[in-house]
Amino acid sequence: MATNLVTVDVSGVEALAEKLARLGGDSLNRAVVESLNSVIDAGYDLSRSRMSAGIDVAESFMRDRMRVAHASPSSTSASITAVGEQTGLSHFHPVQLVQGAKTASKGDPARGIPSGQKAAGVNVTVTRGATKALKSKRVFIAPNIKDSEGNPFVMRRLPGATKTGKTRMQRVLGPAVYQLFAHQLPTIIPEAEEALMQELLDNAERSLIEGLT
């Protein structure tokens, strides 16, 4: 299992020192916690949006592999963590490809292969709007093996056989959610830092005004 983590905290936010210093302990802590949680929630939504804009995988699949830890009065840090293994191509809309068989063939109705046809690979859509054909007789859809969303596995036959004489196979994999998340971090982190600064300013100002009323 692989994990990628981005953490936003308030260490080193020196530009806010003067305004934050005017707040009492409880008010300062509340302003920090509210700011962090607002920024981390926005960053979570933004990262999923940008990930799904380029990769054609269900957002629910990404949500299941991302974790948000919010700040609290006892812990002024918040984080987004992406976890999981590489994503099986079963999650990228696989379609069985067929071609005419040179010899008599019954086909395979379970995989959508009609009589007189044979398997010719699998179409998948990893990048949104761009279908890719895996044209190999070794790549096929396994209708009796399903992923967490109920999609049939995309498998590849390997050369040779097992010790018991069975065909060797492996799942065909695409990018992991943590890899997609890591790809977005160079742009998300600077935006989160800027947003945190503004949130702290706004919340500090609000707390100061509330303290005067």
Residue 166 has pLDDT above 70, yes or no: yes
Give the whole-number percent of the chain exceeding pLDDT 90.
25
Among the listed residues 117, 172, 100, the one whose alpha carbon sits nearest the alpha carbon of residue 140: 172
- Residue 68 pLDDT class (50, 70, 90 cuts): very high
Which pLDDT score, from 0 to 100, does residue 15 have? 47
Among the listed residues 88, 144, 87, 143, the one whose alpha carbon sits nearest the alpha carbon of residue 111: 143
DSSP 113: B
User: What distance lies between CA 13 and its chain's CA centroid?
Assistant: 30
Residue 213 has pLDDT above 70, yes or no: no
Q: What is the mean pLDDT of residues 21-28?
A: 62
Q: How far apart are CA 181 and CA 44, in angstroms?
A: 10
Which pLDDT score, from 0 to 100, does residue 100 have? 82
- Residue 80 pLDDT class (50, 70, 90 cuts): very high
Residue 114 has pLDDT above 60, yes or no: yes
- Residue 22 pLDDT class (50, 70, 90 cuts): low
Q: What is the mean pLDDT of residues 192-199?
A: 84
Residue 202 has pLDDT above 70, yes or no: yes
- Identify the residue with better confidence: 206 or 79: 79
Which pLDDT score, from 0 to 100, does residue 25 have? 59
Q: How far apart are CA 152 and CA 53, in angstroms?
A: 24
Supply the mean pLDDT for the chain.
81
- Residue 5 pLDDT class (50, 70, 90 cuts): low
Q: For the stretch 72-92, what's the b/e string if a residue is b when 16 or more beta carbons lie within 10 angstroms of its beta carbon?
A: eeeebbbbbbbbbeebbbbbb
In the β-sheet with 139-146, what is the strand arrangement from edge to edge? 139-146, 152-161, 167-171
Q: What is the mean pLDDT of residues 152-169?
A: 83
Residue 14 has pLDDT above 50, yes or no: no
Q: What is the mean pLDDT of residues 130-143?
A: 87
Residue 66 has pLDDT above 90, yes or no: yes
pTM: 0.74
- Residue 96 pLDDT class (50, 70, 90 cuts): confident
Residue 190 has pLDDT above 70, yes or no: yes
State the Rg of the chain over Cα: 25
Cβ atoms of residues 125 and 92 within 8 Å = yes
